[in-house]
Structure 1
């Protein structure tokens, strides 16, 4: 999410999903929901 204008981009990445599944399996954890947020300045605001 851009900390200047508030713009956000939703990204779906299979590698991230696979890593989440692997970590949950390793720790015997059953996720109900998840969210990953990255804050910074978008290319329009640079």
Structure 2
């Protein structure tokens, strides 16, 4: 019974870590995309 609980805990932690990493990466990517878009539009305006 304890093994099952430990496994559940471990899988939950891993899931949370993966989710956190994914959202972090997605956020960072969208920010860099926005920066690229701004730079491009500025360059076009110049």
Q: Name which structure has the greater RCO, CA cutoff 8 Å, separation 6+.
A: 1
In which range does the TM-score fall when normalised by the shorter chain? 0.3 to 0.5
Structure exhibiting the larger radius of gyration computed from Cα positions: 2
